[in-house]
Amino acid sequence: MNRRGKASAAPIDERGFHRWVASHLPAGRTGALPIGDDAAALRPPRGSVAVLTTDALIEGTHFAAGSPPRSIGAAAAGVSLSDAASKGARPAGILIALLLPPGTSRHWAESVLRGAEAAGARFDAHVVGGDTKPAPVRAVISTVVGWGTAGSLAPRSGARPGDLLVTTGSVGRGGSAWRRWRTHRGGRRDLLALLDVRPRVREGLALAPLVHAMIDTSDGIADSAHLLARASRVRLLLDPDRIPWDRSIAALPRAAREEAGFFGGDYELLAAVPSSALRRAVRAVGSVGGRLHVVGRAERGTGAYLSGPSGLRPLPSAGWSPFQRAMKRHQNRAAPSQGR
C-alpha cells in the first residue's frame, strides 16, 4: 500500500474531517466563515427567509451494510434536498454529521462527503461543514439550509376543497426495487436503487408560487396524501387510474401494484393546486424538464381515499415502515461491509 492508500485507510478524526472538506470541497466560495470554524455562515439573498431541514440515514434501518459510501452520502443529502424542494426553497448549503464505529476509514468518510457534495452541487448547494462522532453503528445526518420568499413557500397545510391533486414524475420506482429484493429476485442493484434519491428541487421552485400545499413522497404517495389531508383538514381522493405508475409495476395485479406503488422512496412532489392555476403549473414544471400529473382532488371532509367506479376505499398508509422491518431481516444475509 502506498502512502496515499495508508492515509485513506487511517481512521477519521474531526480535525482531519474539516481539513479534508476545506481542501477538497468548494464550500469556501459560498461561506462567510472559513471551513473548520465553530459554525458555518451563508450570505442570504435580500428579502429571503431561511428554510432548514435535517434527516438521518442509519445503517441497518435505511441502508444495508456494504452499501457504497458515496451512494450513502448522495442519498443523505438528497433526502434533505427533497424536503427543501417540497417547500419551494432554493438550497444553499449542506452540513453532514457522521456517526462512525471505531476504526472506520478516512476513505469511507471522504466518500460519503463526495457523494453528498455531488448531490448538492447539481443545485449549487455545497457541503459547508459538519462533524464526526464515534457510535456503535454508522449513521449520516444531513442538514440543508435553503432560501425562500415568505409569501411563496408551500406548506403542507394549505390545501382547499376544489383543489386538484398533482404529482411529479412516476409512482413506484422505489417500491419496485424493494419488491424484487424482498422476494429474492433482486440483489445488490435493487438495494442501491433505494439509495438513488432524485430530489425535485427545480420542480419545487417552479410549483411553489402556484400551489396551496406541497409535500414530498419520500414515504410514499399514500402516506404523503394522508399527511397533507390531515394538515389541511380536507379529504383527498386519489384516482388509481390516473396515478402515473412506474413502468416496472404498471402491469402488476392491482394489489401488488399498489403495495409497491405506495411503498415510498420515490422523492416526487405531491401538491394541491387550484384548478385555475393548473395550466400554469404544468407549463412551469415542463419548463424545467419535469412532468406533472393530475391524480385526484380535495374536497370537504377528512382522510385520504382511493376513488373509482365502485366508490371509495381507504388509502393504505404503510409508507416506509415495511422496508425498515425488512432491512433488519436483511442484515443476517448482508454482504460484508466495504471499506471499513
pLDDT above 70: percentage of residues in the chain: 86
Contact residues for 266 (Cβ-Cβ < 8 A; gap 6+): 169, 170, 171, 172, 173, 174, 175, 217, 218, 220, 221
Which residues lie closer than 8 Å to 227 by C-beta, 6 or more apart? 156, 215
| pLDDT, tens digit (0-9, with 9 covering 90-100), for 39-88 | 888 889 999 999 999 999 999 888 888 899 999 999 999 999 999 999 99
- Tens of pLDDT, residue by residue over 96-135, are 999 999 889 889 999 999 999 999 999 999 998 888 899 9
pLDDT for res 334: 46
The span from the CA of 326 to the CA of 263, in Å, is 12
- Among 5-9, 28-32, 80-84, 104-108, top mean pLDDT goes to 80-84
Residue 17 CB neighbours (<10 A): 23
Question: To the nearest whole number, what is the mean pLDDT of the chain?
Answer: 87
Judged against a pLDDT cut of 50, whether residue 277 lies above it is answered with yes
Q: pLDDT by residue (tens digit) across 144-174?
A: 999 999 889 999 999 999 999 999 999 998 8
What is residue 332's predicted lDDT score, i.e. its pLDDT? 47
**pLDDT of residue 333 exceeding 50:** no
Domains (ranges, CATH) in the chain? 17-25+46-152 (3.30.1330.10), 164-327 (3.90.650.10)
**pLDDT band with cut points at 50, 70 and 90 for residue 93:** very high
Q: What is the pLDDT, as a whole number, of residue 213? A: 99
Only one residue has cell 457523494, namely 115
> Which pLDDT value is given to residue 24?
72
pLDDT score at 179: 76
- Compute the average pLDDT of residues 219-245: 97
Please tell me the predicted confidence (pLDDT) of residue 323: 53
Answer whether 334's CB lies under 8 Å from 66's CB.
yes
pLDDT score of 335: 41
pLDDT class of 330 with cuts at 50, 70, 90: low
pLDDT given at position 174: 85
Bridge partner residues of 65 (DSSP): none
Convert the pLDDT of each residue in 284-326 to its tens digit.
999 999 999 999 999 999 999 999 888 899 998 766 554 555 5
In this prediction the pTM is 0.90
Is residue 2 scored above 50 in pLDDT?
no
Rounded CA gap, 113 and 98, in Å? 9
Helix 69-86 vs helix 106-121: crossing angle, to nearest 10: 30
pLDDT at 27 (0 to 100): 60
- Taking Cα atoms as reference points, which of 161, 165, 306 lies closest to residue 234? 161
